[in-house]
Structure formats: structure tokens, C-alpha cells
């Protein structure tokens, strides 16, 4: 087993070597511009792009023409929200989303609010799921877009997207889904889910960074978007700019591999994740699972370790790459807004760690991580005044803290 161990697969994933192999020729021999119609260099590049587009469309049960390449999910989310609002502003000015979306959606919504758009941020339950009835009740005759993620990037909770899709269709409101964490990991079918727009990205599924896609429905209904980038009219005019062909080809290959390996891979990552969960939670008292017990991404595990602070914990296992919802690790010094939205207290939000099991995670790495986490938590609890007080029977909630 090699150190350090990478267990932060929600943040990004390594490129699969098979993806890199597929990309390489497109840097050197097949370097053409896929928009060049008049020579074999262009045709060759175009062929690579077409094939990738087909693989990507197949994975989500869409048509190749419905795939718009972007620089990543952040751009896709921005294009979906801003493009729809701009295009349909005559129809209405109200957008519905949730309070636990990725910053790409939340901040795009915030920026629309500054321009006078009304945004409803729906709450989620303790497990992080939005109630479809809340979505239904929030719709007004001014609502033009619903944007709800498929699976949350911190807690892995999967939303009831198909149910929301039905409501959106019934009410004639467009439905965008940020499926960045779900595509390639769990089955995603845009018809079955009833989504009209969907964002995802290559680097979360063992593809390269800097390439993503926006699915834009062409039939029933035909979705139109105002572009954010003007230029040569690439991608049906919705996203101009010469396509980064090697990245597109890598994205296609990554998707092809996910489609082939998903049945086996999701079972394997889930078994490793379950072992990690049981190994840690079985050995330590006062550890709490954040998110949904079952409606959760196969590789996700988010736990709060009472009485220890997340960043200190990360420091104790620094040969394992993980992330924390603690304020100490964030630039804003605020603990995770996702955990806060679930009703997790600030103290436990500060104590949270996210584990992301992935394609290349091994059983040895999982066992090592369990062992190291237990030792580090015990080391820090030994040092924790809160643990000491709790052991003395003091209810920490009744203590008068000097909140600063």
C-alpha cells in the first residue's frame, strides 16, 4: 500500500489511465479543430468529438444533439440558470432551488437575485432530502425554473428527482438538475427523471479537468437558452468557442468506462464504504452519520465525531486525503452550510469528516483509514475539554460559553 491515500473522490478523481491513452493522440497527430470542415485534420477531430458526444448521450439516455460541452459543471450550472432566466424572462421571474445546492447553483441564483429575480431556497429534511410537496407548493405562475441537485457533494444524499420531474412537467416549469456527483456513479436517465437540463463534469468520473456538459432537452419541451459566451456559434449557439478536443475525447472515454463498469463498481465501492462506516462507527462512541442512511451515493461517507474538531482530525491523519465541514478548513470560517441546513449543530458541523471512496480505493486503504481514524479521534478526545466535561456528566448545552 502506498501513502498518501486518496479518499477525497467527491472533490475530484484521478484520470483513469485508459482515459489518458484515449486522449493522447488528440494532442499531437489528431490535433485538428473539430469545427474545420474542409480538411481531414478537422474531420478526424470531429469524429472524436462525435463519438464522445454519443457515449455521453447514451449514458444518460439523451440524444447526442442535446449535449452541450462546457468547461465543467460550474459553467453548466451557470448557463442553465442564467440562460433560462434570460431566455424566459417574459414568462416569469421566479426560480426554485434548495439550500444545500453546490455553490455553482447557489451563487448563480444569488447573482440572479441581484438582478431582480426571485429565488426560493427550499429547506431539506434531517437526511438532506427536499420534500417534493414543498416544490409543488412553491411553484407560482411566475416560476420559470426549478434547479435541484441529484446527489449532494458533501453528504451524498440523493433527492427524489423523478418525483420532482413529474411535478415540474405537470406545472409546465423547466427543471434543471445538477447531477455532477451522480452521473457515472448511479444510473441516470433524463427521460425517467423528467429533467430538462442537467449539468455534469468529467473530473468527478475519472476524466480530465476542464470539461463538462449541459444536457439541454430538444423535444417535449424544446428548451432554449440565452448563451453566456458569444462567438463562433459552436454547440448549437449555446456555448461558443473551439472545443478542447482531447478533453472531450477523454470525457467520452471516461463515460464509456463508467457505463461498462458501473454495475460492478457501485457494488464494490459501496461495500468498501460500508466497511469504512462500520469499522469507524463500531469502534467509537458518539459518532454520527450525516445524510441519508440508504438514499446515498455508493462511495459517500460523512461522519461527525463529537468533541473533536475536524481540521485537527485531518491533521492527525494527514497521510490520508479527506475533507471536513469544519470552519477551520474554510476560507469563510463558517462551518458547512449543507450540514447546518440538515439541522446539524455548529459543534457537530465543526466535527465532520467526508470520506469519498472511489474506483481506485483498495480494501487495505480502507482498513488503514479505519485504524488511523480511531487512533486520531481517541488522541484528540484525550485532549478535548468538551470530552472531559461530557464524561463528568456536564451537559454542554447548558454551559454559558463566551461565544465570540
Ligand X SMILES: Cc1ncc(COP(=O)(O)O)c(C=O)c1O
Beta carbons of 212 and 199 less than 8 angstroms apart: yes
Residue closest to 292 by CA, chosen among 123, 100, 177, 125: 125
Q: Which three cell numbers stand for residue 173?
A: 416549469
Which positions are annotated as active-site residues?
328
What's the distance, CA 124 to chain centroid?
17
The residue (of 73 and 327) whose beta carbon lies closer to other proteins is 327
Q: Which span (188-196, 199-207, 263-271, 327-335) binds other proteins, by CB under 8 A?
A: 327-335
Beta carbons of 291 and 372 less than 8 angstroms apart: no
Report the alpha-carbon distance of residue 325 to residue 384 in Å, rounded. Answer: 19
Task: Report CA-CA distances (Å) from 199 to 188, 361, 388.
Answer: 12, 26, 47
Contact letters for ligand X, residues 169-188 (x by CB under 6 A): ---------x-xx-------
Beta carbons of 98 and 149 less than 8 angstroms apart: yes
Residue choice 276, 312, 341, 344 for contact with other proteins (CB under 8 A): 312
Run of H or E including 287: strand 287-289
The residue (of 104 and 243) whose beta carbon lies closer to ligand X is 104
The residue (of 220 and 331) whose beta carbon lies closer to other proteins is 331
177 binds, among other proteins, ligand X, none (CB under 5 to 8 A by kind): none
Report the alpha-carbon distance of residue 338 to residue 304 in Å, rounded. Answer: 13
149 binds, among other proteins, ligand X, none (CB under 5 to 8 A by kind): ligand X
The residue (of 97 and 304) whose beta carbon lies closer to other proteins is 304
Residue where the block lists cell 444510473: 187
Residue where the block lists cell 476560507: 331
404 binds, among ligand X, other proteins, none (CB under 5 to 8 A by kind): other proteins
Residue choice 13, 34, 74, 326 for contact with ligand X (CB under 6 A): 74
Q: Which residues bind ligand X (CB under 6 A)?
A: 72-74, 77, 102, 104, 149, 153, 178, 180-181, 201, 212
Q: Which residues bind other proteins (CB under 8 A)?
A: 307-309, 311-312, 315-316, 326-329, 331, 333, 335, 345-347, 350, 382-388, 396, 401-404
Amino acid at each position: 500500500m502506498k501513502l498518501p491515500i486518496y479518499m477525497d473522490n467527491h472533490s475530484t478523481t484521478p484520470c483513469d489511465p485508459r482515459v489518458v491513452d484515449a486522449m493522447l493522440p488528440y494532442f499531437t497527430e489528431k490535433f485538428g479543430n473539430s469545427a474545420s470542415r474542409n480538411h481531414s485534420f478537422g474531420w478526424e477531430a470531429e469524429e472524436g468529438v462525435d463519438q464522445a458526444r454519443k457515449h455521453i448521450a447514451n449514458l444518460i439516455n439523451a440524444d447526442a444533439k442535446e449535449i452541450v460541452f462546457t468547461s465543467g459543471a460550474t459553467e453548466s450550472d451557470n448557463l442553465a440558470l442564467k440562460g433560462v432566466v434570460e431566455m424566459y424572462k417574459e414568462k416569469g421571474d421566479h426560480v426554485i432551488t434548495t439550500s444545500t445546492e453546490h455553490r455553482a447553483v447557489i451563487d448563480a441564483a444569488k447573482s440572479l437575485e441581484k438582478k431582480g429575480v426571485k429565488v426560493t431556497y427550499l429547506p431539506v429534511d434531517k437526511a438532506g432530502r427536499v420534500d417534493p410537496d414543498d416544490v409543488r407548493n412553491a411553484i407560482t405562475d411566475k416560476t420559470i425554473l426549478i434547479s435541484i441537485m441529484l446527489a449532494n457533494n458533501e453528504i451524498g444524499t440523493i433527492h427524489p428527482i423523478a418525483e420532482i420531474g413529474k411535478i415540474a412537467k405537470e406545472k409546465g416549469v423547466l427543471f434543471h438538475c445538477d447531477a455532477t456527483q451522480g452521473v457515472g456513479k448511479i444510473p441516470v436517465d433524463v427521460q425517467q427523471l423528467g429533467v430538462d437540463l442537467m449539468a455534469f463534469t468529467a473530473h468527478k468520473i475519472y476524466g480530465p479537468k476542464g470539461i463538462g456538459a449541459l444536457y439541454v432537452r430538444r423535444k417535449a419541451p424544446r428548451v432554449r437558452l440565452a448563451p453566456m459566451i458569444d462567438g463562433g456559434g459552436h454547440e448549437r449557439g449555446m456555448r461558443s468557442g473551439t472545443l478542447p478536443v482531447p478533453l472531450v475525447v477523454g470525457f467520452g472515454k471516461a463515460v464509456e468506462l463508467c457505463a461498462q463498469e458501473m454495475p460492478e463498481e457501485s457494488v464494490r465501492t459501496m461495500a468498501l464504504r460500508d466497511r469504512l462506516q462500520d469499522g469507524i462507527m463500531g469502534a467509537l462512541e458518539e459518532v454520527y452519520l450525516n445524510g441519508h442512511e440508504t438514499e446515498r451515493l455508493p462511495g459517500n461517507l460523512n461522519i461527525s465525531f463529537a468533541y473533536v474538531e475536524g481540521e485537527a482530525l485531518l491533521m492527525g491523519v494527514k497521510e490520508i486525503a479527506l475533507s471536513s465541514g469544519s470552519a477551520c478548513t474554510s476560507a469563510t470560517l463558517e462551518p458547512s452550510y449543507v450540514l447546518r441546513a440538515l439541522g446539524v449543530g455548529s459543534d457537530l458541523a465543526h466535527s465532520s469528516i467526508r470520506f469519498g471512496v472511489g474506483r481506485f480505493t483498495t480494501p487495505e486503504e480502507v482498513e488503514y483509514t479505519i485504524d488511523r481514524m480511531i487512533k486520531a479521534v481517541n488522541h484528540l478526545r484525550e485532549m478535548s475539554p468538551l470530552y472531559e466535561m461530557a464524561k463528568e456528566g456536564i451537559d454542554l448545552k447548558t454551559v454559558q460559553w463566551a461565544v465570540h
